[in-house]
Structure 1
Amino acid sequence: MKLSFDELHKLYFDNENNIKKQILYKDAYMAKAYKENNRIRKARGNYLTALLYYNSDMNKAIQYLDSVIKYSTGINDRSFPVAAYCEKADFLKRQFKFEEAMLNYKLAEKIALQTNLNYYYVVRGYIAVTKSEDLGDYKEALDIYKECFRFYKTKNYRSKKYADNFQYIIFGMANCYRSLKNIDSTTYYNKLGLWETKLTGNMALHYSFVLNEGANQVLRKNYNAALDSIHKALPKIEEYKYTGNTMACYFYLGKAYDGLRQKENAVKNYLKVDSIYSKTKEITTEFMDGYPYLIRYYKNLGDKENQLKYISKNMAIDSVLQKKYRNLNTFLRNEYDIPHLMSEKENLIKSLKEDKVKSFWGNGILILGMITVSAFGFYQFRHKKKYRSRFEKIMKETADKDFQEKENESTKNNKTAISKTDDIGIGEELIEQILKKLNSFEKEKGFLKPNITVQSLSIVFETNTKYLSKIVNSYRNKSFIQYINDLRIDDALENLKKDSKLRKYTIQALAVEFGFNSAESFSSAFYKKSGIKPAYFIKQLEDSIKNKQM
């Protein structure tokens, strides 16, 4: 009895666990398509073939998807070639070819806009996922998620047709807001996702929202609430075999226990993250912070072998991730940079060699050689990304916000004068007088005058150097020199953003403008405060302004 295309298609998917039968039905489908010279059926037949190679041979799968695209292009089918472009993009992402993947998503998006509006927003969702989870472009991804959210809100979004897509869009929005540290919006969309998944019975995604809110509570520093949410999510996520989310559970449990100063529990969970990585060889930059924690922990214990083990592992993972993401604007946020790790490794190796010369001699040379080779290739890359990240962090801070924070801090300092009187041995009334003078000094930008010393300012304030120094240390939490330099650099950052003329000054001229005696002292204070050199900040600032004007 001859079977129709639809019957063969159904039999193919009814036998997902029987490859031999799937091949049989796929071959019959393909033979029928070529016999009838039916282009869309040829396309679908090649698509079924590509799926057979999904987990075994990505390049072979891509070849068949290209055949799908060839046969289905220009025939206005509602599914193809859009589905083929999306599947191909997925394979390319797995090969870390993100630019090619995005190109295929864009082609799918363009066609779907003409042939199938519902599919168009599915593709837009794929693009948002790639931008957020792979490229780290959270703001761009969030804009796309919002666009999709508005579309699904016009539909019957709790119906079988739309519910899953709508809920994944909500999850994407919550995840982006969390990555952008917008805690309140994260909670809002997590709650919305929990409600929608519960109404439609999508419990697999439901517990992902539970986990996501647990991670968000870590940001809020509500560590017990975080533990409660994550412990609820973990058994279900393990049941659904979501390896990435399982790793996330252990990582954020570690962060929560660390926040509660329960070091042993934090270490146990970070070790579980490492255990999952050791089995899967998959990890993202988000979960790398556990390694510096383990390094510090074993260093404090004096356990040199484990300290060296996790330094080496941190470096090895770092190297792999840099190679995979070398074309992206993503960087690893580890507090341990390459030179620091190299130095620490060298010291550990020397120490271990002294303790166990025979057993560690060969391993020490090997590890040192591997570190040198691996570090050389990507040191400059990390250095550049670290500087770029610091620049972006500075740019996010607005002048109004900085000013408000200073005002709030000043008010707080004045209000807490009584409680700190006994700590520094100065009378309450005198503390309040000096704090008021400091506030006025900051507001009127007295710090821009050159050659300010604690002696000269104490004369202006009509007090002695000991009292002024103590009050600055206690109420500004800085040494006097750092206090003056930080005020000057904050003012420099603010004015360089606003004044294009200043950005044309030499470093020496800027130093004089902001109260420093030399270009060297200005550059040193600028770097200490912001983490980047003033010349780099100005160049990036000019580039960002030019890009906005284009």
Structure 2
Amino acid sequence: MKQQYKRGYILSVAILSFLILDINAQNKDSLSIKGFKELSNLFHKHKKDSLLSLSIAKIYLQKAKSKKDTIKMAKGFHYLSIVNKSNDSLFLGYNDSIIESTKLVKTEFFPVTAYFNKGDYFYKNRLFYKSLENYLLAVKSTSNEKYSNIIKHRLGLLKSRYNKNKEYLMLLKEVYSYNKRNNYEKEYVDYHLSILFALSDAYLRNKKNDSARYFCSIGYAKSIENNRKLFKNYFRLEKGVIEFWDKNYKTAIDSINLAIPEIIKAKDLANLSYANFYLGKSFDKLNNEKKALSYFEKVDSIYFLSKDIHPDLREGYEFVIKYYREKDNPEKELVYVRKLLDLDQYFSKNYKSITNYFNKEYDTPKLLFKQKEIVKSLKKENTLQGWLLLFSIILVFSAIFFGVYNFKKRKVYKKRFQEILKETKKDKLRTTKKDKREKEKELALPQKKIDEILQKLKSFEEGKRYLEQDITLNSLAKSLETNTSYLSKVINYYKKLSFSNYLNTLRIEYIIEELKENKTYRKYTVKALAHEVGFKNAESFSKAFYNLKGIKPSYFIKELNKG
């Protein structure tokens, strides 16, 4: 009875799976006959359904490619980037493809959106110099005032991190004026409040305290009027900072302390860090060193959690080092010396051109360390000169060696490129013919089974199923209704390749033909080409291409474009 039930259950599951597959196939067919506008509407309607929106985006892109419509292709890449927002590699790859494909055909929407998306991605990941690069490219690539305005806001926030305060204020004033003209304060309340907060901060950084206070009070009133509790407390924090710079230290402490509970509730570590920093500075001005120390140490604790800190807050570490030095506590001093060195490395990595930012009150540990190194280096001057001479000689010979090596390598690459161009489809992967008895004997398989597998492999190749991702020996054996041992033997014997090399060869030969015939593919990034032919990433694609053809795909495309 149990066995009968089990068989019935398995049969039910099999029927259900077949029906689901059939429905999915029907859905795909029904989508493929729809026009671009319908597909766009469907994509936006089903954004939350990741599988359906992915199918729609892929079909949209396929249609665009078949019609060789660059703008529609860019839109397809944009939809795919939205679906793959959580996958860093794919998200950046699709935005790169938008940029590459619209270099010569700019629109109101492209490539500005791709640069903006990349700018936001790098900002979120605290790679500010990369974020800045992409926002600047976004501004250059659009004439749309609305897009420019949003990007200017982002640029302004970045300028504050780079201590470019005049530029910060200029950008925020432009953004504020545009928002007022277009009545955004009513249409986009939160966005307008964030502009007021940034504008007040920009005036304060330019030592225009009265203007900072004016816009802060407007923001505070608007927050209450629109029932925005968090923004109300952001403006309380800003008021506290303004009071500090107006030397009203006790009022500053009261205002900041009122703001902190709501900022903690919002888990806004950046502004919480800022609040503690100004509490520390206020208590320092009131000559309460212990209180000041506790708040500056809180700033460090928040940095440990968030892995991000505004460059303004570096000053707090100098206070802590100085405090422990004066209290003759070398262990604690050393702890914060090391933390400050780590912090400077963080700034160097994430900001790059920030070295002239800081106005240091005293020699930083880095400079002290450098001074010691200079003293040591003077003692070793003679030895150093000898080493420098030897190093120079090595550099000269290395330059000659690499020059010759690169010249030879270019010649070899050029020859290989010409050989690939001369290849025809007949030269590609062939099935080796063997004597019937010899085959059966070597493979230990009946001829009927061999012929059956070969025929199915032929269908697999003709149907270009090798372009699908995640194909394994096991999955292919199942789809060909054989086992991995038989399939592996036949491929090894007739194709003279291992399974992975067989799959890679089919994919590489396919993309080479496409690149020769279809100029659109030459605009793709290497990453986008890799995904087109079933590779998971650009590295594995480039390696497979090089192993098969002896040159990199980027070189092959560059040489094709020359022709």
TM-score of the two chains, using structure 1 as the length reference: 0.54
Distance 1:123 1:286, change over 3 A: same
Q: Note if contact 2:127-2:351 (Cα within 8 Å) is conserved in structure 1.
A: no
- Offset at residue 31 of structure 1 (A): 1.8
Q: Which amino acid aligns with 1:6?
A: N
- Offset at residue 344 of structure 1 (A): 12
Q: Note if contact 1:170-1:189 (Cα within 8 Å) is conserved in structure 2.
A: yes
Q: Deviations along 1:18-75, whole A, 9 cap, x unmatched?
A: xxx5254223322234236565554344234334665653x54322112233456677
- Offset at residue 245 of structure 1 (A): 0.8
Q: Could you tell me which residue of structure 2 aligns to residue 249 of structure 1?
A: 275
Q: Deviations along 1:209-240, whole A, 9 cap, x unmatched?
A: 22122112111221121112211211111222
Q: Matched residue of 2:160: which SS?
A: helix
Q: Could you tell me which residue of structure 2 aligns to residue 226 of structure 1?
A: 252
Distance 1:265 1:146, change over 3 A: same
Structure 2 residue 328 is matched with structure 1 residue 302: yes
Please, which moves more after superposition, 79-88 or 91-100?
91-100
Structure 2 residue 97 is matched with structure 1 residue 67: yes
Which residue among 49, 70, 73 is the counterpart of 2:80?
49
Query: How far apart are the structure 1 equivalents of 2:304 and 2:132?
Result: 30
Q: Which amino acid aligns with 1:118?
A: K
Q: Note if contact 2:341-2:366 (Cα within 8 Å) is conserved in structure 1.
A: no
Aligned length: 334
Distance 1:277 1:170, change over 3 A: same
Which residue among 142, 152, 157 is the counterpart of 1:129?
157
Query: How far apart are the structure 2 equivalents of 1:33 and 1:201?
Result: 44
Distance 1:153 1:268, change over 3 A: same
Higher RCO structure, 1 or 2 (CA under 8 Å, sep 6+): 2
Structure 2 residue 197 is matched with structure 1 residue 156: no
Q: What does 1:86-165 align with in structure 2 at a 5 Å threshold?
A: 86-93=116-123, 101-113=131-143, 116-133=144-161, 135-160=162-187, 162-165=188-191
Structure 2 residue 300 is matched with structure 1 residue 271: no
Q: Which amino acid aligns with 2:135?
A: Y
Distance 1:61 1:226, change over 3 A: same
Query: How far apart are the structure 2 equivalents of 1:231 and 1:95?
Result: 29
Distance 1:72 1:24, change over 3 A: farther
Distance 1:272 1:30, change over 3 A: same
Q: Could you tell me which residue of structure 1 aligns to residue 483 of structure 2?
A: none
> Cα RMSD between the aligned structures?
3.2
Which residue among 341, 350, 370 is the counterpart of 1:324?
350
Distance 1:40 1:215, change over 3 A: same
Of the two, which has the highest radius of gyration? Answer: 2
Q: Matched residue of 1:112: which SS?
A: coil
- Offset at residue 124 of structure 1 (A): 2.2
Q: Could you tell me which residue of structure 2 aligns to residue 5 of structure 1?
A: 40
Query: How far apart are the structure 2 equivalents of 1:339 and 1:156?
Result: 51
Query: How far apart are the structure 2 equivalents of 1:313 and 1:218?
Result: 27
Q: Note if contact 1:138-1:179 (Cα within 8 Å) is conserved in structure 2.
A: yes
Q: Could you tell me which residue of structure 1 aligns to residue 317 of structure 2?
A: 291
Q: Matched residue of 1:302: which SS?
A: coil
Q: What does 1:428-443 align with in structure 2 at a 5 Å threshold?
A: none
Distance 1:5 1:274, change over 3 A: same
Which residue among 204, 212, 215 is the counterpart of 1:178?
204
Q: Deviations along 1:61-100, whole A, 9 cap, x unmatched?
A: 3221122334566777554332212112233456776666
Please, which moves more after superposition, 201-210 or 223-232?
201-210
Distance 1:40 1:210, change over 3 A: farther
Q: Which amino acid aligns with 1:156?
A: N
Query: How far apart are the structure 2 equivalents of 1:62 and 1:199?
Result: 40
Q: Matched residue of 2:142: which SS?
A: helix
Q: Could you tell me which residue of structure 2 aligns to residue 365 of structure 1?
A: none
Query: How far apart are the structure 2 equivalents of 1:337 and 1:56?
Result: 44
Query: How far apart are the structure 2 equivalents of 1:99 and 1:264?
Result: 36
Q: Deviations along 1:322-358, whole A, 9 cap, x unmatched?
A: 3433324642334342468747999xxxxxxxxxxxx
Q: Which amino acid aligns with 1:122?
A: I
Q: Note if contact 2:53-2:83 (Cα within 8 Å) is conserved in structure 1.
A: no
Q: Note if contact 2:348-2:355 (Cα within 8 Å) is conserved in structure 1.
A: no
Q: Which amino acid aligns with 1:43?
A: A
Query: How far apart are the structure 2 equivalents of 1:52 and 1:301?
Result: 56
Q: Deviations along 1:112-151, whole A, 9 cap, x unmatched?
A: 32xx332221122222222223x22110121122122222
Distance 1:102 1:280, change over 3 A: closer
Query: How far apart are the structure 2 equivalents of 1:344 and 1:107?
Result: 38
- Offset at residue 247 of structure 1 (A): 0.9
Which residue among 8, 19, 22 is the counterpart of 2:50?
22
Q: Matched residue of 1:245: which SS?
A: helix
Q: Deviations along 1:224-261, whole A, 9 cap, x unmatched?
A: 21112211211111222212111111111111222222
Q: Note if contact 1:254-1:270 (Cα within 8 Å) is conserved in structure 2.
A: yes
Distance 1:179 1:55, change over 3 A: farther
Q: Percent identity?
A: 29
Q: Which amino acid aligns with 2:211?
A: S
Q: Matched residue of 2:110: which SS?
A: coil
Q: Note if contact 1:237-1:246 (Cα within 8 Å) is conserved in structure 2.
A: yes
Query: How far apart are the structure 1 equivalents of 2:228 and 2:74?
Result: 32
Query: How far apart are the structure 1 equivalents of 2:354 and 2:314?
Result: 17
Query: How far apart are the structure 2 equivalents of 1:67 and 1:90?
Result: 17
Query: How far apart are the structure 2 equivalents of 1:95 and 1:29?
Result: 26
